[in-house]
């Protein structure tokens, strides 16, 4: 029966968001140590309390739909859980990196709840629908708070650094941006084949040319600083443990996950360029600052286009399940 499969799908997504919240809790408990600024520390502390409540609410709904704790445990530990894909090995070591990762993570949460809300709607589960809407709004607010704190995060990262050190930092940020664009290329080149639906594939194809151009521009700025991209991306940047391989093991929900993941990835890039803009300005490199500012706008626009595919993505998840049941 289709209704039965929609309920199953609902349970699966509830389990997914539960594991996302558990990972959020772990990250938020560590955040104050790295935040480097009282206001940032306060923001993270507040969201920790909010997240504790979110975890409880999701668990409550899971219990209501009758999911066994063992199921919850299984899926939480499963490699390929949403958060695991992008953040498994992330260990931000500066206030700037922390803000950038947190910003991306909030976007991933938002995407997950947007999807859950649509699925709950179709399953006729009003309680889950309302919960997803409410928590999604909290994630968006948290993302906005971080977006209002880029200056603060950069100040905290560069505090007590001399002009020479800031110049060196600028090269590091440029190299990170370069590595991030390399990962973006990987995502966008492979994405259309695993997207599973045309709307998302098209967004990927459109953003691919832009991404090549971003990388070229960053390359140019590196050259202007007598520098080059780092030879080993992994060494240059311990952010975004991007594991596209997970997506190749295509599952019915691969397109939906990819649509959420790509959104978080564009947010990660947005954060990287927000930081780069400010570090460049502090280093007196207006050209890099202007470039980064322009790219920020394009990353943000790409994220919004990805968000525009969520309706179709959710439909696809539900259709797959119904077809699968027949
Ligand atoms: Fe959350
Ligand atoms: Fe959150
Ligand atoms: Fe991008």
Distance 211 CA to ligand 3 centre (A): 6
Percentage with pLDDT > 70 across the chain? 82
- Cα 159 to Cα 103, 282, 292, 309: the distances in Å are 21, 11, 22, 41
Helix axes 95-123, 126-147, angle to 10 degrees: 160
Cα distances (angstroms) measured from residue 12 to each of 2, 66, 77? 15, 12, 14
Cβ atoms 20, 112 nearer than 8 A: yes
pLDDT of 318 higher than 90: no
* Residue 252 clears pLDDT 80, i.e. is over it: no
Cα dist. 131→164, 313, 324 in Å? 50, 20, 28
Q: What is the pLDDT of residue 245?
A: 57
Side-chain-side CA neighbours of 156 within 13 Å: the count stands at: 22
Distances 156 to 57, 94, 99 between C-alpha atoms, Å: 34, 8, 11
Distance from the alpha carbon of residue 83 to the mean position of ligand 3, in angstroms: 19
What's the confidence (pLDDT) of residue 239? 40
Question: What average pLDDT does the structure give for the chain?
Answer: 86
Whether the Cβ atoms of residue 97 and residue 45 lie closer than 8 Å to each other: no
**More confidently predicted of 144 and 71:** 144
- Kindly report, residue by residue over 118-148, the tens digit of the pLDDT: 999 988 999 999 999 999 999 999 999 999 9
pTM of the model: 0.90
Closest C-alpha to 256, from 206, 312, 198: 312
Give the separation between CA 103 and CA 95, rounded to whole angstroms: 12
Within 10 angstroms of residue 92's Cβ, the number of other Cβ atoms is 20
Res 79: pLDDT = 42
What span, in angstroms and rounded, lies between the C-alpha atoms of 20 and 100? 17
Distance between Cα 51 and ligand 2 center (Å):
6
**Helices and strands counted in the chain (H then E):** 14, 0
List the shell of residues around ion ligand 3, using CB closer than 5 Å: 184, 269, 299, 302
pLDDT tens column, 31-58: 998 999 999 999 999 999 999 999 999 9
Starting from the CA of residue 262, give the closest ligand: 3
- Average pLDDT (268-289) is 97
The stretch 107-116 carries a mean pLDDT of 95
Distance 210 CA to ligand 3 centre (A): 8
Does residue 30 have a pLDDT over 60? yes
Q: Both tokens of residue 206?
A: 């459109």
């Amino acid at each position: 029966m289709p209704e039965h499969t929609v309920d199953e799908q609902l349970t699966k997504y509830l389990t997914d968001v539960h594991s996302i919240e558990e990972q959020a809790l772990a990250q938020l408990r560590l955040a104050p140590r790295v935040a480097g600024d009282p206001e940032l520390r306060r923001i993270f502390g507040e969201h920790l309390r909010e997240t504790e409540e979110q975890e409880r609410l999701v668990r409550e709904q899971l219990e209501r739909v009758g999911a066994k704790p063992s199921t919850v445990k299984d899926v939480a530990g499963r490699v390929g859980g949403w958060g695991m894909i992008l953040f498994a090995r992330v260990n931000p070591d500066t206030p700037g990196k922390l803000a950038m990762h947190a910003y991306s993570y909030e976007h991933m949460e938002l995407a997950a709840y947007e999807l859950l809300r649509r699925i709950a709607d179709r399953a006729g589960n009003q309680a889950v629908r309302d919960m997803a809407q409410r928590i999604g709004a909290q994630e968006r607010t948290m993302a906005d708070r971080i977006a209002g704190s880029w200056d603060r995060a950069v100040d905290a990262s560069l505090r007590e650094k001399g002009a020479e050190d800031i110049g060196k930092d600028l090269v590091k940020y440029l190299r990170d941006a370069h590595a991030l664009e390399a990962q973006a290329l990987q995502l966008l080149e492979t994405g259309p084949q695993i997207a599973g639906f045309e709307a998302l594939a098209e967004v990927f194809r459109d953003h691919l040319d832009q991404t090549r151009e971003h990388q070229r521009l960053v390359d140019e700025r590196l050259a202007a600083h007598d520098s080059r991209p780092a030879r080993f991306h992994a060494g240059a940047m311990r952010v975004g443990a991007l594991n596209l391989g997970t997506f190749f093991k295509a599952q019915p929900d691969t397109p939906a996950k990819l649509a959420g993941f790509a959104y978080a990835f564009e947010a990660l890039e947005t954060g990287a360029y927000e930081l780069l803009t400010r570090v460049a300005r502090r280093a007196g490199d207006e050209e890099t600052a202007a470039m980064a500012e322009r790219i920020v706008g394009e990353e943000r626009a790409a994220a919004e286009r990805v968000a525009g595919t969520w309706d179709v993505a959710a439909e696809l998840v539900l259709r797959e399940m119904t077809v699968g049941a027949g």
